[in-house]
Amino acid sequence: MAAKVSTPADASNDFSVGSVYCMVTGASQGIGRALAVEASKLFGPNSVMLLLARNEKELANTANMCESENVKVMYKPFDLSTASSEKMQDVIMQSIQGRKVTDFDVVLVFHNVGSLGNLSVETDKMENVQELESYFDLNVFNVIALNSQFLKVFQDVEDRIIIINITSLCAIKPMSGMAYYCSGKAAREMYFRVLAEEKKHIKVLNYSPGPVETSMIDYVLEEAVNDNLKQVFTAFKSQGTLLTPDVTAKKCLRILQKGVYTSGDHVDYFDDE
């Protein structure tokens, strides 16, 4: 785990005292939905939230959970794996129509979108380059591209930006049977760590949410060919150690509000606050 370095008290964030802009990817279910719902409860008046995912029906459900007198919620069915940079910028610009970027006191983006990759192929037999490219398009390349468009839109208020990359223990520790996932998470996290190193005035958090009760668990149990991986995830379910999405979302937001982390750090759910 990354060592914690306490930052000054003025690094804390009270999202209720001003107007917040917030974008959440992968917001139609699981951790993404929980982050959107829990974050929306904290925002001050005239805040804006943009929700992105492929499933329009479930996005609408998330939007209904987030809407309040303080928060205007917009959602857009969006396939990040195939979206162009122009489309990425357009969807962000549409969400702030009628507003200036300087209207927002805090600008948040939760990069939550992600997939597990092919669990039915052993690591030494990963030879389908087209499949690998498709995986990295969604999980790494287009996340980077979307983040770049986000920074371009809000370049005049860069010092108000907080970027949260939803990462995993698998980004820093190998897990048998999950070469796609581990490689993608590691590459993605390193990009955000380098960004934090270069852009000292932007806050970056790589948040690892812990083992969470989502559809990912069942997918692993159904698709994995690696026996060790199946055993690990079977133990998660049988021992009742899985976290709920709202519990880990609340922990993430507490970390953001306290601001007690070094920008770019990998912070795990189980780390001390």
* pLDDT tens for each residue of 138-177: 999 999 999 999 999 999 999 999 999 999 999 999 999 9
What's the residue count for the chain? 273
237 versus 182: the higher-pLDDT residue is: 182
Instruction: Give the separation between CA 181 and CA 178, rounded to whole angstroms.
Output: 5
pLDDT, tens only, 125-134: 999 999 999 9
Q: Is 4 a member of any domain?
A: no
- Name the pLDDT band for 239 (thresholds 50, 70, 90): confident
Q: What is the mean pLDDT of residues 22-44?
A: 97
Q: What is the mean pLDDT of residues 243-255?
A: 97
Q: Evaluate if residue 1 carries a pLDDT over 80.
A: no
Q: What is the mean pLDDT of residues 209-219?
A: 90
Give the number of other Cβ atoms within 10 Å of residue 2's Cβ: 16
Return the pLDDT at 85. Answer: 96
Return the pLDDT at 2. Answer: 41
| DSSP assignments along 232-251, one per residue | HHHHHHHTT-PBPHHHHHHH
Report how far Cα 201 is from the mean position of its chain's Cα atoms: 20
- Name the pLDDT band for 273 (thresholds 50, 70, 90): low
Where is average pLDDT lowest: 73-87, 186-200, 228-242? 228-242
- For CA atoms 31, 37, 41, 42, the dihedral sign is positive
Which residue is it, tokens 């780390």?
271
% of the chain with per-residue pLDDT over 90: 86
Instruction: Give the separation between CA 260 and CA 121, rounded to whole angstroms.
Output: 40
Q: What is the mean pLDDT of residues 177-186?
A: 97
Q: Are 54 and 32 in contact (CB under 8 A)?
A: no
Average pLDDT, the chain: 93
Question: At 23, which helix (H) or strand (E)?
Answer: strand 20-25
Structural domain boundaries enclosing 64: 12-213+245-268
**Total number of domains constituting the chain:** 1
Give the CATH number, domain containing residue 176. 3.40.50.720
Q: Is 94 a member of any domain?
A: yes
Q: Is 237 a member of any domain?
A: no
Q: What is the mean pLDDT of residues 236-265?
A: 94
Q: Evaluate if residue 3 carries a pLDDT over 50.
A: no
Q: Is 235 a member of any domain?
A: no
- Name the pLDDT band for 11 (thresholds 50, 70, 90): low
Q: Is 253 a member of any domain?
A: yes
Q: Are 69 and 47 in contact (CB under 8 A)?
A: no
- Name the pLDDT band for 271 (thresholds 50, 70, 90): very high
Q: Is 5 a member of any domain?
A: no
Q: Which residue type occupies 117?
A: G
Q: What is the mean pLDDT of residues 92-108?
A: 97
% of the chain with per-residue pLDDT over 70: 96
Q: Is 75 a member of any domain?
A: yes
Q: Is 6 a member of any domain?
A: no
